[in-house]
Copies of this chain bind each other. A is one copy, B any other.
Amino acid sequence: MATILDIAEKLGVSKGTVSKALNGAPDISETLRKTILETAVEMGYTRRRRQKQTAKKLCILVENLDYEEPHQFGYDIVTGFRQMAEPAGFLVEIFPITEKLQRSISYDMFMLQHDYLGAFALGFTLQDPWMTDFQTSSTPTVLYDNYIKTNPRTAYVGVDNNEGMELAVSHLKELGHKKIGYLSGALGSHIMQVRHKAFFQAMRQNGLRADSDFAGASYYISQCLEKHLPRLIQMGMTAIICSHDLLANAAMIQCQQFGIRIPDDLSIIGFDDLPICPYTYPPMTTVRQERTEIGKCGYYALDSLRNSVSIGTLLLHAKLMVRNSTGPVSEKN
């Protein structure tokens, strides 16, 4: 393993300068600090635990995800992770990440600079700059709902979306539905792609027809409601599955404004089981992600990676929460 001295010798600077750069001291130029950190990462330098510094630190990197309030999606995930990590002696820091930050520093350098031993990454999209870094990173990293191919230092944790979609479609089929549509957020995230594919697979497995125009995807919910929802209704869909609860809730409200009764005229199913779902009108049938468990499994996978047990994928069983937004297919259909 490279030492501070090795780095200093390679760059022809003093050990003190390397140490300053690694510890984020202010009296060193930004350019030099960056050169030193880059060299440290290249040479495989890993910070050794110092006597004084007792806390072992892990971080939860958060992007595109609210987690601060109990009703928000990320709250329980963060809680579950901390429930496991903190009793095991880790200090867990939550670090909101922007695209700008990702462009300013490589992932491994960021982790080294902050002295993090591993990360649980929530809410990254396929366009995020660090998604490329994760492919070759040597830092143990667990991604919620994102899969990095063949890097033994990364793991993917989430709910089994294929199973979730299968439960949703089977439930509707049992209620007599045959024409089922799918509304989705933009397909720029791994999870939206997985669910989109899972919808068509579940329809096939249930012997139901699903042409490509049975699904519609847009980035903005409003666009989804304006562009795809009326089209699906006109096509005679008696049920619509949505890629996430907020979209399902917006679709229910929109339908009711059109005078379409839920579930009498149209059944709607969401995905995630956000805390609001029992309180929507009507209470929403949705596929549940056990978020506290996802957080716990995230810690377990990260701990495994840190101990060279190379977990690649850990999926929780999905569960269908049947409430009142789904019902038997209307007789007029």
Contacts and interface: CB of A to CB of B under 8 A. Distances in A.
Interface of A: 149-150, 152, 160, 163, 166-167, 290, 293, 296-297, 300, 304, 309-319
A325 to B, nearest CB: 21
Contacts of A318: 312
Contacts of A296: 309
Given A149-B163, A290-B310, A312-B316, 4 more contacts: A152-B317, A290-B309, A312-B317, A313-B315
Contacts of A166: 149-150
Nearest to A160: B312
Q: Which of A316, A317, A319: most chain B CB closer than 10 A? A: A317
**Interface of chain A: mostly helix, strand, loop or mixed:** mixed
Contacts of A163: 149-150, 312
Which 10 pairs across A and B sit closest by C-beta, in order of nearness? Answer: A312-B317, A310-B317, A313-B315, A152-B317, A160-B312, A293-B309, A312-B315, A314-B314, A310-B316, A150-B163
B150 A317 contact: yes
Contacts of A293: 309-310
A85 to B, nearest CB: 16
A306 to B, nearest CB: 14
Nearest to A319: B152
A9 to B, nearest CB: 34
A316 B290 CA distance: 22
Contacts of A319: 152, 310
Contacts of A310: 290, 293, 316-317, 319
Q: Which of A149, A314, A319: most chain B CB closer than 10 A? A: A314
27 contacts: A149-B163, A150-B166, A150-B167, A150-B317, A152-B317, A152-B319, A160-B312, A160-B313, A163-B312, A293-B309, A293-B310, A296-B309, A297-B311, A300-B300, A309-B316, A310-B316, A310-B317, A311-B314, A311-B315, A311-B316, A311-B317, A312-B315, A312-B318, A313-B313, A313-B315, A314-B314, A314-B315
